[in-house]
Amino acid sequence: MELAVGGGMRRSASHTSLSESDDFDLSRLLNKPRIKVERQRSFDDRSLSDVSHSGGYARGGGGFDGMYSPGGGLRSLIGTPASSALHSFEPHPIVGDAWEALRRSLVFFRGQPLGTIAAFDHASEEVLNYDQVFVRDFVPSALAFLMNGEPEIVKNFLLKTLLLQSREKKVDRFKLGEGAMPASFKVLHDAKKGVDTLHADFGESAIGRVAPVDSGFWWIILLRAYTKSTGDLTLAETPECQKGMRLILSLCLSEGFDTFPTLLCADGCCMIDRRMGVYGYTIEIQALFFMALRCALQMLKHDTEGNEFVEKIATRLHALSYHMRSYFWLDFQQLNDIYRYKTEEYSHTAVNKFNVIPDSIPDWLFDFMPCQGGFFIGNVSPARMDFRWFALGNMIAILSSLATPEQSTAIMDLIEERWEELIGEMPLKICYPAIENHEWRIVTGCDPKNTRWSYHNGGSWPVLSAVLLWLLTAACIKTGRPQIARRAIDLAERRLLKDGWPEYYDGKLGRYVGKQARKFQTWSIAGYLVAKMMLEDPSHLGMISLEEDRAMLKPVLRRSASWTN
């Protein structure tokens, strides 16, 4: 069935649709019988018309002034949040502060709000590039604005970043691919001339000079979130957005020497933007790649140019999901199988396809792996399995349905079983465990910022707790165990405002404000707000989740229901 909302989700043959089946059904996440508690009316109990009305354009028409807000009033960009004051669902005093802080981080370009800076931390001696709008950091802000019925800033962001994409980008004398999206950009105000210009960083200024692979994926995912939330298909259908998507896709779908369907990438090309041994086929990029492909599939027009990509995407998704679900997945049984692997097997009959040496399994893993539960490991390449847990990749794998329903359940089980290690006193650990001593020297290049249990090396990032909380909330509501989500959000609420919204926490349990953490880090603030709004109204989850597409598992090229109906 199709969404038919005010903005006109119905489409003609060459148009795209975001269908009902894309909404996230969490019944599959946690299906164990639990004690019954009083249930919220969950989003999957709602009719789709309810869901579509919680967005902006769906009711209020296209104009900014006529925008409908979830709180029921007309809203302006600067002002009191609709969400904090008007929702009856346990308003917490820090929600108001969070909205204020989020609005303080807004960046304007020629009078229009265009994004949010990474951190509004005047106390910090070194600004570095934290005064820039990071593409990945803006996503939680964008979701907060969309959920609050303020889509205009998201639209501005999507359109302006497209202009940056088409610029020539060079690192020294080497030209980057046309489709690359910047890691971040800055608005430069020339007070004398009274003009604003945009300056983007594609990696040519970034520490380590790595181009971000995730930015283009986040851009596509955000375009779908915007479309889904507003019901406004016209933006995604513009020639500019269609071309922007095709450019991103042509970069990551180009053919080369690969034998794997996963995307080969450099260390530091994603949220973990420093050397952390995540080069190769890091889970974060693979999960985002998968999700972006699925989002693009829904939004690409089926015209001559679009069709070429539609076919390539379908073929890649089929192979990618098989590869990830088979080779990146680790649970008790799989670990035991690897432990007993024979090596040096040749030919198609090999069980140990990548020639992984069982001795390379780290000791911590044997105790960490619960009998029930599992996760996608960090990396798989010849003779190298990076067994670390990475939060973002696993969360995105659930949201995008890269994980099968059983795998999603197992990831949530693992989090519950290993609460102390993965959540501790501040959700959520970016990766587990930390690397130390000699390994830290080799892997990070002696990085003083990434010492054990700090920053990217086992630090706890409040922004990641948002994703966890959405999943937990929806799963909890569905299965009657809201106490898990509440426990996690309680932890965050106890500290975040008091500590000044730090970027990350340090320590095994995440008890200490990070050594070099910025304060008033925008995505810590926005992540909290998004988690709160999701708790209040789980129907928002549809913006950022995709239902499993069974046709994907069948041999290509059968069109799936989600993009032909």
Interface with ligand GLC (CB under 6 A): 118, 134, 136-137, 271, 273
- The nearest distance, CB 447 to ligand GLC, in angstroms, is 12
End-to-end Cα distance, the chain: 7
* Cβ proximity to ligand GLC, 136 vs 418, nearer residue: 136
Q: What tokens appear for 116 in the block?
A: 């949010």
Is residue 93 within 8 A of residue 187, CB to CB? The reply is no
- The nearest distance, CB 519 to ligand GLC, in angstroms, is 12
Is residue 120 within 8 A of residue 126, CB to CB? The reply is no
Q: Exposed e or buried b for every residue in 141-170, given b needs 16+ CB within 10 A?
A: bbbbbbbbbbbbbbbbbbebbbebbeeebe
* Cβ proximity to ligand GLC, 182 vs 482, nearer residue: 182
- The nearest distance, CB 231 to ligand GLC, in angstroms, is 30
* Cβ proximity to ligand GLC, 212 vs 507, nearer residue: 212
Residue 558 and residue 446: Cα distance in Å, rounded? 50
* Cβ proximity to ligand GLC, 149 vs 212, nearer residue: 212
* Cβ proximity to ligand GLC, 17 vs 282, nearer residue: 282
- The nearest distance, CB 51 to ligand GLC, in angstroms, is 31
409: closest CA among 474, 463, 363, 460? 474
* Cβ proximity to ligand GLC, 25 vs 204, nearer residue: 204
283: closest CA among 262, 266, 268, 258? 262
For tokens 């990830």, name the residue: 324
Residue 254 and residue 263: Cα distance in Å, rounded? 10
* Cβ proximity to ligand GLC, 182 vs 306, nearer residue: 182
- The nearest distance, CB 118 to ligand GLC, in angstroms, is 4
* Cβ proximity to ligand GLC, 142 vs 369, nearer residue: 142
- The nearest distance, CB 534 to ligand GLC, in angstroms, is 22
- The nearest distance, CB 378 to ligand GLC, in angstroms, is 16
Is residue 93 within 8 A of residue 135, CB to CB? The reply is no
Sheet of strand 184-190, all strands in order from the earlier edge strand to the far edge = 133-134, 184-190, 195-201
Reduced 3-state DSSP string for 320-375: HHHHHHHHHEEEHHHHHHHHCCCCCCCCCCCCCCCCCCHHHCCHHHHHHCCCCCEE
- The nearest distance, CB 184 to ligand GLC, in angstroms, is 7
What is the number of the residue whose Cβ is closest to ligand GLC?
118
Is residue 64 within 8 A of residue 53, CB to CB? The reply is no
Residue 385 and residue 163: Cα distance in Å, rounded? 39
Is residue 252 within 8 A of residue 290, CB to CB? The reply is no
* Cβ proximity to ligand GLC, 134 vs 309, nearer residue: 134
- The nearest distance, CB 343 to ligand GLC, in angstroms, is 36
* Cβ proximity to ligand GLC, 37 vs 128, nearer residue: 128
- The nearest distance, CB 462 to ligand GLC, in angstroms, is 12
Residue 14 and residue 166: Cα distance in Å, rounded? 25
Residue 525 and residue 500: Cα distance in Å, rounded? 10
- The nearest distance, CB 274 to ligand GLC, in angstroms, is 7
Write the CB contacts of 203 (distance below 8 Å, at least 6 apart in sequence).
171, 176, 183, 209, 210, 211, 212
* Cβ proximity to ligand GLC, 137 vs 506, nearer residue: 137
- What is the torsion angle, in degrees rounded to the nearest 10, for the CA atoms of residue 422, residue 326, residue 319 and residue 229? -30
